[in-house]
Amino acid sequence: MKRLLLCVGLTAQAGMAASPADYANVIPIRTSGESAAWQFELDSSVYAGSVDPDLRDLAVFNAAGQAVPMTIRPVELPDSQVEQRASVPVLALPDGRRGGTGVDLHLVVERDAAGRLRRLEAQSTGEPTVAVEPREWLLDLAAFDRGIDYLELDWDAPRDKLIARFEVRGSNDLQRWDLLNADATVVMIEQDGARIERRNIDLSTTRLRYLRLLRTDDGLPLAGLRAEAGRTRHVAGSARVQWLQAASVERLGELDADKTRFLYVLNPAVPATDVKVNLSSDNAVAQLDVLASADEAPASGRWVRRARFVAFRLLQDGDVIDNGFAALTPGPRIRSLRLDSATPLAAPPDVVVGYRPARLLFLAEGNGPFLLAVGSASERYPDYPIEPALVSLRSRFGPEWQPAVADLGDSRASAGAKALRPAQQPVNWKRWLLWSVLIGAAAVVGGIAISLLRGSGEGRGEERQQPPEE
């Protein structure tokens, strides 16, 4: 896996040698925890800062200022949380230290041929003179092969005035135990009708097979302790539709608005998927063509029809009935919008467009914090071979694995408007020198030709002036 990520990383560094200073704006990427890959939703500041119709003027940089592998993609499912939760076997371990005589404790573990636990039993020898409540418990997490995030405890008694503290350790072989939580506290208190109850013990995601709970306080014993384990997984998908008001204008490029043509601009340019046209007059109807362009001032040949539908607004008994949303055919981001009506309309319709923000996915190559750079007239991210890395991650962590979800901070200026100006083309001195040599050679050849022609003309004149022989 490391080799695969390294190969992708080398491709990233070879494919893009730019830095955050080559982009108009930069936005901090906020991450929590560790993950091989991250993803986040592109917000309005990204769409406003990008000047490329396909959002290719974006880049993600690590703390060393190196570009990391990234891609932009839509996803199909909504964001969700998937929780796996189940009761786990709890075995109370006798505490011979409190009994009054020596007690030897033996743990009997029996597994089948596949290594699954078949029997777990604590046996003790010796007779403690005083019966004691258990202060230590063993939990089997065989049902959670991908780990757990928390425990939730419950017990039969007491149900009030309880504050209990635990030390939690984990193991795979029941011999070596790792400390997972040194001071986990559960509370159950009721007073004057108010009840405070906290029975969860949070754990960093652990894949250890067994847990051991050790009661560290001297409070009331817990009778009938039982436990449920849980694992919460965040699944990222496509965001809900967001709506953007289109601004009506009188002129776009070579076109002027009139009674059958209405012009609009979108700020920022977005990958619109739906449009809602609200006619301004009651009891009106119009056959509309929706045309779009990624340009700010599109030429006549730069408009693409994205929808055709009938818009209407009917008023009956005080109720308004109008057309719904119309779907747009797929295409690039829309910056300019145009409505062509088959019949004249009294006023420009009100237009809103719907879009689903795309997600940017990147591999966490190098150390964070990571930075998103936005907006450049010349820089474009290459097509990184990210998919093999994701396939490898899913093969290890399961087909439902998704990159962790990050979010964006506040945008700040980097190179500013300078990054949005096209770079000046350097003077091609070799080309000019070649043309100079060619023109000079042509002049020399022309001069020689003229000299030869003049010499030939003078010779013929001398021949004509010679007298005839007698």
- pLDDT tens per residue, range 195-253: 888 899 998 878 899 999 999 999 989 999 999 999 877 655 556 788 999 999 999 98
Question: Per-residue pLDDT tens for 413-453?
Answer: 998 888 888 766 555 667 767 777 788 777 777 778 777 77
Check residue 269 and give its pLDDT: 92
Q: What tokens appear for 112 in the block?
A: 């089948």
Report yes or no on 201 lying in a domain: yes
Q: Please indicate whether residue 436 or residue 8 has the higher confidence score (pLDDT).
A: 436
Confidence of residue 74 (pLDDT cuts 50, 70, 90): confident
Mean pLDDT within 167-180: 94
Report yes or no on 214 lying in a domain: yes
CB 249 within 8 A of CB 265: yes
Residue 290 has pLDDT above 70, yes or no: yes
Confidence of residue 14 (pLDDT cuts 50, 70, 90): very low
Check residue 105 and give its pLDDT: 53
Domain range for 294:
245-355
Mean pLDDT within 371-387: 92
Stretch among 70-74, 129-133, 277-281, 440-444 having the lowest mean pLDDT:
129-133
Q: Are residues 127 and 6 in the same domain?
A: no
Check residue 114 and give its pLDDT: 56
Cis ω before 357 (30° cut-off from 0): no
Rounded-to-10 torsion of CA 434, 438, 440, 445: 160
The structure tokens 């000046």 sit at: 424
Is residue 332 classed as helix, strand or coil in its secondary structure? coil
Report yes or no on 273 lying in a domain: yes
Q: Are residues 152 and 211 in the same domain?
A: yes
Q: Are residues 50 and 130 in the same domain?
A: no
Is residue 96 classed as helix, strand or coil in its secondary structure? helix
Residue 79 has pLDDT above 70, yes or no: no
Residue 126 CB neighbours (<10 A): 12
Report yes or no on 457 lying in a domain: no
CATH number at residue 345: 2.60.120
Q: Are residues 41 and 104 in the same domain?
A: no
Check residue 86 and give its pLDDT: 92
Report yes or no on 465 lying in a domain: no
Check residue 231 and give its pLDDT: 87
Residue 10 has pLDDT above 50, yes or no: no
Report yes or no on 377 lying in a domain: yes
Check residue 15 and give its pLDDT: 44
Q: Are residues 41 and 122 in the same domain?
A: no
Q: Are residues 302 and 383 in the same domain?
A: no
Show which of 415, 443, 458 is a domain's final residue: 415
Q: Are residues 273 and 324 in the same domain?
A: yes
Residue 363 has pLDDT above 90, yes or no: yes
Percent over 70 (pLDDT), the chain: 79
- β-sheet bridge partners, residue 352: 245, 276
Mean pLDDT within 161-186: 93
Q: Are residues 282 and 221 in the same domain?
A: no
Residue type for position 151: L
Confidence of residue 298 (pLDDT cuts 50, 70, 90): confident
Q: Are residues 199 and 126 in the same domain?
A: yes
Show which of 235, 253, 278 is a domain's final residue: 235
Show which of 235, 261, 285 is a domain's final residue: 235
Report yes or no on 44 lying in a domain: yes
Q: Please indicate whether residue 270 or residue 101 has the higher confidence score (pLDDT).
A: 270
Check residue 6 and give its pLDDT: 42
Residue 291 has pLDDT above 90, yes or no: yes
CB 234 within 8 A of CB 400: no
CATH number at residue 108: 2.60.120.260
Nearest C-alpha neighbor of 275 from the set 193, 338, 321: 338
Question: Per-residue pLDDT tens for 308-341?
Answer: 999 998 887 777 888 888 999 988 899 999 999 9
Check residue 456 and give its pLDDT: 63
Q: Are residues 115 and 43 in the same domain?
A: no
Check residue 81 and give its pLDDT: 62
Q: Are residues 25 and 145 in the same domain?
A: no
Confidence of residue 122 (pLDDT cuts 50, 70, 90): low
Q: Please indicate whether residue 107 or residue 313 has the higher confidence score (pLDDT).
A: 313
- Write b or e for each residue in 369-399: b if 16 or more Cβ atoms lie within 10 A of its Cβ, otherwise e: ebbbbbbbeebebeebebeebbeebeeeeee
Residue 43 has pLDDT above 70, yes or no: yes
Give the chain's domain count. Answer: 3
Report yes or no on 439 lying in a domain: no
Q: Are residues 37 and 105 in the same domain?
A: no
